[in-house]
Chain A
Amino acid sequence: MSADTRRRSAWTIVNVVVVLYALFPVWWIAALSFKDPSTLTDGDFVPRRWTLENYRGIFRTSEFTRALLNSVGIAVIATTVAVVLGTMAAYAVARLRFPGKRLLIGMSLLIAMFPPISLVSPLFDIERVLGLFDTWAGLIIPYTTFSLPLAIYTLSAFFREIPWDLEKAARVDGATPWQAFRLVIAPLAAPGVFTTAILVFIFCWNDFLFAISLTSTRAARTVPAAIAFFTGSSQFQQPTGSIAAAAMVITVPIVVFVLLFQRRIVAGLTAGAVKG
Chain B
Amino acid sequence: MAELVLDGLTKHYPDGAVAVRGVDLTVADGEFVILVGPSGCGKSTTLNMIAGLEDITAGTLRIGGRVVNDLAPKDRDIAMVFQSYALYPHMTVRQNMGFALRLAGTDKAEIARKVEEAARVLDLTEHLERRPALLSGGQRQRVAMGRAIVRAPKAFLMDEPLSNLDAQLRVQMRTQISRLQRRLGTTTVYVTHDQVEAMTLGDRVVVMRGGAVQQVGAPQELYDRPVNLFVAGFIGSPAMNVLDATLEEGALRTALGELPLDDRLRRRLEEADAPRRVVVGIRPEHFEDAALLEQRHGGRTVTVGVEVLESVGSDVFVHFTPQDGTAAGPEVVARIGTATRAAEGRPLELWVDTARMHVFDPETGAALTSAAR
Given A273-B133, A275-B84, A276-B140, also A171-B74 (CB < 8 A): yes
For window 131-184 of A, CB contacts with B under 8 Å fall at 163, 165-166, 168-176, 179, 183-184
A165 touches B86 (CB 8 A): yes
- Given A174-B104, A273-B133, also A169-B74 (CB < 8 A): no
Q: How far is the CB of B152 from chain A (nearest CB, A)?
A: 13
Inter-chain contact B84/A276, CB cutoff 8 Å: yes
Q: Which residues of B contact A163 (CB under 8 A)?
A: 84, 86
Contact of B9 with A by CB under 8 A: no
On chain B, which size bracket covers the interface?
Answer: 20 to 34
- Across chains A and B, the number of contacting residue pairs, with CB separation under 8 Å, is 74
Is A272 in the interface zone, CB < 8 Å from B?
A: yes
Give 9 A-B contacts (CB < 8 Å), ordered by A residue.
A168-B82, A169-B88, A172-B52, A172-B73, A172-B80, A174-B73, A272-B89, A276-B84, A276-B87
A223 vs B132: C-alpha distance when bound (angstroms):
47
Contact A172 B84 (CB under 8 A): no
Which of A170, A174, A175: most chain B Cβ within 10 A?
A174
Chain B 50-72 interface residues, beta-carbon cutoff 8 Å to A: 51-53, 72
The listed residue (A169, A173, A183, A273) touching B131 by CB distance below 8 A is A273
Given A173-B99, A276-B137, the answer on whether A168 and B132 have CB atoms closer than 8 Å is no
Beta-carbon contacts of B199-236 to A below 8 Å, as 1s and 0s?
A: 00000000000000000000000000000000000000
In the assembly, what is the distance between CA of A101 and CA of B305, in Å?
A: 61
Q: Which residue of B lies closest to A275 (CB)?
A: B84
Residue of A with least CB distance to B53: A168
* Interface assignment of A188: CB less than 8 Å from any CB of chain B: yes
Q: Which residues of A contact B (CB under 8 A)?
A: 163, 165-166, 168-176, 179, 183-184, 187-188, 271-276
Chain B positions within 8 Å of A169 at CB level = 80, 82, 86, 88, 147
Q: Indicate if the CB atoms of B84 and A175 lie closer than 8 Å.
A: no
B binding-site residues for A, Cβ under 8 Å: 51-53, 72-74, 78-80, 82-90, 99-100, 103-104, 131-133, 137, 140-141, 147, 151, 157, 164
- In whole angstroms, what is the CA distance A118 to B74 when docked? 52
A184 touching B103, Cβ below 8 Å: no
Q: What residues on B are CB-neighbors of A175 within 8 Å?
A: 74, 103
Taking CB atoms, residues of chain A closer than 8 Å to B72 are: 171, 176
Task: Indicate if the CB atoms of A173 and B132 lie closer than 8 Å.
Answer: no
Q: For residue B14, which residue of chain A has the nearest CB?
A: A97
Q: How far is the CB of A168 from chain B (nearest CB, A)?
A: 5
Residues of B within 8 A of A171 (CB): 52-53, 72-74
Contact A187 B80 (CB under 8 A): no
Residues of chain A lying within 8 A (CB to CB) of residue B151: 173
With the chains together, A274 CA to B140 CA distance in Å?
11
Closest CB-CB distance, B53 to chain A, in whole Å?
Answer: 5
User: What is the bound-complex CA distance between A176 and B141, given in angstroms?
Assistant: 25
User: Which residue, B72, B78, B86, B157, has most C-beta atoms of chain A within 10 A?
Assistant: B86
List A contacts of B88 (CB < 8 A). 166, 169-170, 184
- Contact for B86 among A168, A174, A179, A273, CB less than 8 A: A168
Chain A residues contacting B86 (CB-CB under 8 Å) are 163, 165-166, 168-169, 276
State whether A188 touches B137 (Cβ < 8 A).
no
With A171-B74, A273-B132, A276-B85 given, can you name 15 additional A-B contacts, CB distance below 8 Å?
A163-B84, A163-B86, A170-B88, A171-B73, A172-B52, A173-B100, A173-B103, A173-B147, A173-B151, A176-B72, A179-B103, A188-B89, A276-B84, A276-B140, A276-B141
